[in-house]
């Protein structure tokens, strides 16, 4: 078979929670690919062998119903919110059930992916020569490159990012200060308070702290249900604010500053025990850090604390160390991609999992993205009219997939989406693809010249 008539082949980077559904979607449709995973097993940050694994006491902050892949239910006896170990087991069970292990090359780190005239050249560490692919699908995850703040002065105690806190044993017997107000911060604070009787929390500005359960249901499921109500989103936000007032109350009641933003303008923090520790005096809330002096930390309210361990739960930098980031981000650091997934002008580049749900889980939405990628690739061969429709859509459309309010300008809030609206929009697109969304290319005799003509036409 000549080079011009060979079936197109794609490279998938990563076999974590976002890469696995891509492997499944392409395999089911008979699309040729290689998947490279730098670790020895699936799961990404949920793989306990990963240097970037999550904190060992971590539980998912999204309920299983809005996290799991739609075609793979969890065991009936699992809790609403999975532990890190349960999440790892679920991902491995998914890979085994659908026969994905044999389709992944493990212990293979992609160190370079470079776009060339007719596709992508990919270099895998320790392997030569570089490999050529017709397209690239990136699912490398985005919670592994720690972001660290800078302060005046020097700290003589132990300084660590939350990324490197792997167990509560690291906290035992130490005066712990955690900087940041996200989910990792409150998880570590709760363990530090339980282990040592007291922990200190510093945050420059306050966030909305959501309980994980509302009226006996996981909070994200409650928000998802009410998102279906035929009310303006401004009215829904008013109802949520009223609900927060009843369930949690005003921040000053806890000795916390009031948030400087409206509800959902920044990512809320899901927690159950944090506020309980606050009201029992096991966590002392402080404002931002003014300066460091030995083991003394001075805060902007002119108070100070003696600290042994300073933990920065200050998030992660978005990085693609193996490729030119301009394929993904514009000059302002915002996504250039349609649905944070599809290159708007080319048909050879995709990113999966590059978004932050205000509620609900990432995995399920990544699964929809994977199905859309597979559907589009199949349509370029089987249904060129649908491929042309989608190519025009991804080039021009800017769908409303958020809460309808401007998010704060931090890195991750540039990728904030609303689970229900994002999910519903992708389901609508899959429905419009019709049967081609599930068609397989393997097992059929194709006129390869026709295939190439249709692919070129769609491009």
Q: Coil, strand or helix: which one is 443?
A: coil
Write down the pLDDT at residue 457: 45
Dig out the tokens for 76 from the structure: 């009936």
Residues 6+ apart with CB under 8 A from 33: 9, 10, 11, 12, 23, 26, 27, 103, 137
Write down the pLDDT at residue 447: 38
The CA-CA-CA angle for residues 417, 421, 425, to 5°, reads 110
Condensed to tens digits (0 to 9), the pLDDT of residues 61-74 reads 999 999 999 999 87
Fold for the domain defined by 3-144+317-458:
FAD/NAD(P)-binding domain (3.50.50)
Are the C-beta atoms of residues 176 and 312 closer than 8 Å to each other?
A: no
The answer to whether the 3-144+317-458 and 152-211+248-312 domains have the same CATH topology is: yes
Residues 6+ apart with CB under 8 A from 145: 316, 317, 318, 319
The enclosing H or E element of 191 equals: helix 183-196
Neighbour count for residue 94 (Cβ, 10 Å): 23
Strand order in the sheet with 283-286: 158-161, 309-312, 176-179, 199-202, 283-286
Write down the pLDDT at residue 410: 61
Dig out the tokens for 110 from the structure: 């992609």
Q: Which CATH superfamily is domain 152-211+248-312 in?
A: FAD/NAD(P)-binding domain (3.50.50.60)
Domain borders along the chain are 3-144+317-458, 152-211+248-312
Q: Compute the Cα dihedral for 428, 431, 436, 439 and give only its sign.
A: positive
Condensed to tens digits (0 to 9), the pLDDT of residues 244-288 reads 889 899 998 998 988 988 887 777 898 889 999 999 999 999 999
The CA-CA-CA angle for residues 106, 108, 109, to 5°, reads 135
List of the chain residues with pLDDT < 50: 1-6, 443-459
């Amino acid at each position: 078979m000549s080079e011009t008539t060979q079936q197109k082949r794609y490279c998938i980077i990563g076999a974590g929670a976002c890469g696995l559904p891509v492997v499944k979607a392409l395999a089911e449709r008979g699309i040729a690919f290689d998947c490279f995973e730098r670790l020895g097993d699936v799961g990404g940050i949920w793989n306990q062998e990963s240097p970037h694994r999550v904190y060992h006491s971590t539980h998912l902050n999204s309920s299983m119903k809005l996290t799991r892949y739609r075609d793979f239910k969890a065991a009936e006896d699992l809790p609403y919110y999975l532990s890190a170990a349960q999440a790892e087991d679920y991902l491995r069970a998914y890979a085994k059930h659908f026969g994905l292990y044999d389709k992944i090359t493990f212990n293979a780190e992609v160190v370079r992916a470079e776009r060339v005239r007719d596709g992508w050249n990919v270099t895998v560490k320790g392997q030569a020569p570089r490999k050529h692919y017709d397209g690239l699908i990136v699912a490398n995850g985005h919670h592994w490159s720690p972001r660290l703040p800078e302060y005046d002065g020097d700290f003589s105690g132990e300084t660590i990012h939350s990324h490197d806190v792997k167990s509560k044993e690291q906290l035992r017997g130490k005066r712990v200060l955690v900087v940041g107000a996200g989910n990792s911060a409150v998880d570590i604070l709760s363990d530090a308070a339980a282990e040592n009787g007291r922990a200190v929390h510093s945050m420059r500005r306050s966030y909305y702290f959501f309980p994980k359960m509302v009226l006996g249901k996981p909070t994200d499921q409650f928000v998802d249900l009410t998102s279906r109500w035929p009310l303006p989103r401004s009215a829904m936000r008013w109802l949520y604010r009223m609900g927060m007032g009843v369930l949690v109350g005003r921040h000053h009641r806890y000795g916390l500053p009031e948030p400087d933003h409206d509800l959902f303008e920044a990512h809320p923090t899901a927690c159950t025990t944090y506020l309980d520790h606050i009201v029992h005096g096991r966590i002392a809330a402080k404002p931002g850090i003014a300066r460091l002096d030995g083991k003394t930390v001075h805060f902007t309210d002119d108070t100070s604390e003696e600290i042994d361990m300073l933990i920065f739960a200050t998030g992660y930098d978005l990085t693609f160390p193996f490729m030119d980031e301009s394929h993904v981000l514009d000059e302002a650091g915002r996504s250039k991609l349609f649905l944070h997934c599809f290159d708007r002008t080319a048909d050879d580049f995709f990113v999966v999992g590059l978004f932050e749900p205000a509620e609900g889980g990432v995995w399920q939405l990544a699964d929809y993205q994977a199905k859309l990628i597979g559907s589009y690739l199949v349509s370029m061969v089987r249904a060129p009219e649908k491929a042309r429709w989608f190519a025009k859509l991804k080039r021009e459309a800017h769908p409303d997939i958020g809460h309808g309010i401007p998010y704060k300008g931090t890195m991750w809030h540039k990728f904030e989406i609303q689970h229900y609206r994002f999910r519903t929009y992708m389901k609508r697109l899959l429905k419009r693809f019709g049967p081609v969304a599930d068609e397989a290319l393997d097992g059929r005799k194709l006129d390869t010249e026709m295939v190439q003509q249709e692919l070129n036409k769609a491009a």
